[in-house]
Structure 1
Amino acid sequence: MALRTLGAKAAAALDQELMSTGAFSLDQLMELAGLSVSQALFKLHPPNNGPRILIAVGPGNNGGDGLVAARHLWHYGYKPTIYYPKQPKNELYRRLAQQLRDLRIPFTEDFSAQLSSTDYIIDSIFGFSFSGEVREPFPSVITALCDSKIPVLAVDAPSSWNIETGPPDEGPGKGYNPDALISLTAPKPLVKWFEGRHFVGGRFLTKDMAEKYELDIPPYEGLDQVVEVPVK
C-alpha cells in the first residue's frame, strides 16, 4: 500500500505542532530523524559492503539530520566523512558537529575529491522547506551527485527537488534521481517522480495526529525506526 503524502505547508505545520502540543523539542525530533537515516543506510548498505560514507550536509534542519546520522553510523562501524561547507552559528548545529569531531570523524572541504574514496553518499543538503535557486557551493555538489556512479540516499527529498512538483526542469538537479530516499514522518508529493528504493522514518506520530493530517503510520516492526514502502 502506497502511503498518503504530506505537502510542504502541512509538513511545516506538523513540525510546529509536534514542538508545541506534541511536547517534542527540536533536538528530539532531529535525533529521531537522524537515527532513522542511519538505519535506512544500514539496510541499504551494511558496513561490510564498504564502510566509507560521505555525507553532504546543508545549513538547516536537513543537514542536522545528516550530522546525527553520522554519529550513529560511526557507532555501527562505518567510516563517515562530513562535507559541511556552510556551518551555521546556531548552538544546536555547533553541538552536533562537535560531537563528530570528538569521535575524530573527518570533515572535508573538497566534495569531488572525496568521491574517489567513498562507498555510499548521504544527501542531507536540502529538505522539505527548500524552494528557489540552489546557491554556491551546492550546485557543483548536486551535479556531482547526479553524475556519480556511487549510490546515494537522499534525506526527505533529493536536493534541488521541489516538494510538490519534483525534479527541476533545468539547473544542477536536472536528471538527479538518487538510488534511495528516506521520507521523514511521511512521504512528500515528490515521490511521484522518484524511482529508487523508498523508506519512511520518524517513528513518533500519535494516531490522533496522523488522523488530523490524514497520514498513514507505516507498519514499523520491532526496534526498527524505518520501513521500506512502495514508491507508487
Structure 2
Amino acid sequence: MALRTLSAKNAAALDSELMSAGAFSIDQLMELAGLSVSQAVFKLQPPHKGKRILVACGPGNNGGDGLVAARHLWHYGYQPTMYYPKQSKNELYQRLTKQLKDLNVPFTEDFEAALKHADHIIDAIFGFSFSGEVREPFPKVIEALRGTSVPVLAVDAPSSWDIEDGPPLSGPGRGFQPEALISLTAPKPLVKWFKGRHFIGGRFLSPEMAEKYGLDLPSYGGIEQIVEVGAEGQKL
C-alpha cells in the first residue's frame, strides 16, 4: 500500500501549523529535516565509499536543510563543499552559513568544477514551494545534475520538478531522475514519477497532526530519523 501524499498547499499549511499549534520553531524543523538528510546520505554513501559531498543549496528553506545536513556530515567525517550562490540575508540562514565557515567547510561559485571532485551530491535547490521557470544561476546546475554520473540525493523534490505534476516536459530539468529522494514529513504527489531509492524523513509529527492531514506515520526504527520506502511511497 502506498503512503498517502501531501500536496504543496497542505505542505505549506502543515508547516505553518507546526510552527503555531505544534509549538515548533523554524530552526527546530530545519534542524530535524537537515539531520534526516544527513542520515540518508550516510545510508547511500557510507564514508568508506567516498567522503566528498557537494551540497547545492537554493535561497529558501530547501537550501537551509542542505546547510544543516552539511554540518552534520562534517561531524560524521565527510568533506562537504557548498554551492550556495544566492545566500539569504535572513538571520537564520546567516547563522547556518557561519556554522559551516567556522568548520572551514569550503564554499564554491563554480559548480561544474566542484562536481568533478564529488563522490555524492545533495540537491537542496528547490523544494515543495517551487513553481514557474528555473532562474539563473540554476539552469546550468540542474542540467549538470541531470547529466552527471555522480549519485544525487534530492531533498523533498528533484529540483525543477512540479510537486503535483512531476518532471518538466521541457527546460533544464527534463529527464532529470536522481538516484535517491528524501521526502520530508511525507511524500509529495511527484513520487508517482520517481524511480529511485526513496526515504521519508522528519520525525516530528504527532499522531493527531498526521490524522488531521491524512498522513501515514512511517515506522521509524530506534534512533533513526529516516525510513526507506518504495519508489512511489509504498511501505517496504
Deviation at 1:83, TM superposition (A): 0.2
TM-score (norm 2): 0.98
TM-score (norm 1): 0.99
1:142-157 alignment, distance < 5 Å: 142-157=142-157
Is it true that 1:72 corresponds to 2:69 in the alignment? Answer: no
Is it true that 1:46 corresponds to 2:46 in the alignment? Answer: yes
Return the alpha-carbon distance in structure 2 between the equivalents of residues 183 and 155 of structure 1: 7
Look up the equivalent residue of 2:14 and give its one-letter code. Answer: L
Deviation at 1:2, TM superposition (A): 2.2
Look up the equivalent residue of 2:156 and give its one-letter code. Answer: D
Question: Corresponding residue for 1:161?
Answer: 161
Question: Corresponding residue for 2:117?
Answer: 117
Deviation at 1:137, TM superposition (A): 0.2
SS at the partner of 1:117?
Answer: coil
CA contact (8 A) 1:199 1:229 kept: yes
Deviation at 1:105, TM superposition (A): 0.3
Deviation at 1:117, TM superposition (A): 0.6
Return the alpha-carbon distance in structure 2 between the equivalents of residues 88 and 68 of structure 1: 14
SS at the partner of 1:217?
Answer: coil
Deviation at 1:122, TM superposition (A): 0.3
Percent identity over paired residues: 75
Question: Corresponding residue for 1:129?
Answer: 129
SS at the partner of 1:219?
Answer: coil
Number of residue pairs matched by the alignment: 232
Look up the equivalent residue of 2:230 and give its one-letter code. Answer: P
Deviation at 1:88, TM superposition (A): 1.1
Question: Corresponding residue for 1:25?
Answer: 25
Structure 1 gap ranges (5+): none
- Cα deviation, 1:74-103, whole Å, max 9, x if unaligned, reads 000100000000001100000000000000
Deviation at 1:116, TM superposition (A): 1.1
RMSD (CA atoms): 0.5
Return the alpha-carbon distance in structure 2 between the equivalents of residues 151 and 231 of structure 1: 16
Return the alpha-carbon distance in structure 2 between the equivalents of residues 133 and 230 of structure 1: 29
SS at the partner of 1:198?
Answer: strand
CA contact (8 A) 1:2 1:231 kept: no
Moved over 6 A (4+): none
CA contact (8 A) 1:59 1:86 kept: yes
Question: Corresponding residue for 2:205?
Answer: 205
Return the alpha-carbon distance in structure 1 between the equivalents of residues 139 and 225 of structure 2: 31
